[in-house]
Structures are given as C-alpha cells and as structure tokens.
Amino acid sequence: MDWSAIDWPMIATQGLLVFISAFIANLFVVLVGDRRVVAALIAALIFCALLIGWTYYPLGLPGQPSLRI
C-alpha cells in the first residue's frame, strides 16, 4: 500500500464531519430521550449533508477537493 497516495486532508475532513454529525445526533438523544435508531439516522443524514456541501460547494478551503462542475 502506498501511504503517500492517500488524500490525508480529505480523510481528516471526513472524520471531522462524522464527529460533528455524531455530536449533533447525540444532542438529539439527550433532548428527545433514548432513541438511538433515530439518533443514528439523524447522524447519517447530517453527515451526508455536510459531505455533499464540503465536496460540491466551492469554498476554496485547504483540503477541499477541486471538482469542476
């Protein structure tokens, strides 16, 4: 495996997005009650929204993929 071929900034960004999604979903568990399936669904939806926004919205930040649409 060639470790230099891995896009480390993108991996770190995705990890951060997963953390943010899980943190927000965990807040819903605390507020709504012990509904872990709902929290997991919320985390997945938030992650998808953040990943799409990060990947396709041209923010010009370091680590962001350069896609031309």
Residue 36's pLDDT is what?
79
In a domain, 19, yes or no: no
In a domain, 33, yes or no: yes
Of all residues in the chain, what percent carry a pLDDT higher than 90?
3
Judged against a pLDDT cut of 60, whether residue 14 lies above it is answered with: yes
Q: What digits encode the pLDDT tens for the residues 43-69?
A: 888 888 888 887 777 777 666 666 555
In a domain, 43, yes or no: yes
Structure tokens at 58: 């041209």
In a domain, 10, yes or no: no
Residue 1's pLDDT is what?
67
In a domain, 38, yes or no: yes
Count of structural domains, the chain: 1
In a domain, 64, yes or no: no
In a domain, 54, yes or no: yes
Residue 37's pLDDT is what?
83
Task: Return d(Cα 14, Cα 8) in angstroms, integer.
Answer: 10
In a domain, 4, yes or no: no
- What range defines the domain where residue 29 resides? 24-58
Q: Are 13 and 43 in contact (CB under 8 A)?
A: no
Q: List Cβ neighbours of 18 (8 Å cut-off, separation of 6 or more).
A: 47
